[in-house]
Structure 1
Amino acid sequence: MSSTDTYARFYQVIRQVPQGYVVTYGQVAELAGLPRRSRLVGYALRQMPDGVNIPWWRVVNSQGRISPRGLDGCDEYQRILLEEEGVAFNDAGRIDLKRFGWIAD
């Protein structure tokens, strides 16, 4: 399977995450049929072509945190987008995955 096909599978999963919910990198990989490939999900999001319309901000790490990207303002922007959808963060900057975690049908 090519990286293009793999990335497309990840993007398809992420497109399904409804507003107000989050999914972890590991869940995306699992739902795409590629368990234990959570890092590859991160690579796919970094390589996302312009014009691809997926809610990338709904993907968080397994601790319910925004993963640092090393780009000024990007992490804060992701938090703003999530909060605008009603996702809450605790004082430690974590999202309660039991409350806001998406469970695929």
Structure 2
Amino acid sequence: MTYGQIGQLAGSARGARQVVRILHSSSKKHHLPWHRVINSKGEIGIKAEGAAEHQKIMLESEGITFTNRNTIDLEAYRHHPELNE
């Protein structure tokens, strides 16, 4: 899913940045699957050294294929929980 998609599902259509903050501050403590969240362009949004590569390795281990260095095909991989209801 994308940060904005999660924000929208949580009731805040413009809440992408809040999602980033929550994932950054709470993922370790609450074992959140932070690595499965990317930006709306299908890109790994983390800029910290080593963190983007770590996220990419984790996604690839789950069968995600990248179209270029740090980008995935959102049409192929985006999760749509609202369609499962």
Tell me the TM-score normalized by structure 2.
Answer: 0.87
Of residues 82-91 and 43-52 in structure 1, the stretch that sits farther from structure 2 once superposed is: 43-52
Residues 21-60 of structure 1 aligned to structure 2 (within 5 Å): 23-48=1-26, 50-60=28-38
Aligned identity (percent) is: 38
The 4+ residue runs of structure 1 with deviation greater than 2 A are none
Q: Which runs of 5+ in 2 are unaligned?
A: none
Q: Supply the distance in 1 between the matched residues of 2:27 and 2:73 (Cα, whole angstroms).
A: 30
Paired position in structure 2 for 1:66? 44
**Which amino acid counterpart does residue 95 of structure 1 have in structure 2?**
I
Paired position in structure 1 for 2:73? 96
Deviation at 1:50, TM superposition (A): 3.9
Q: Which whole-Å deviations, capped at 9, do the CAs of 1:52-71 have from their partners, x for residues lacking one?
A: 1111100000000000232x
| RMSD of equivalent CA atoms | 1.4
Which fold has the larger relative contact order, with Cα–Cα distance below 8 Å and residues 6 or more apart in sequence? 1
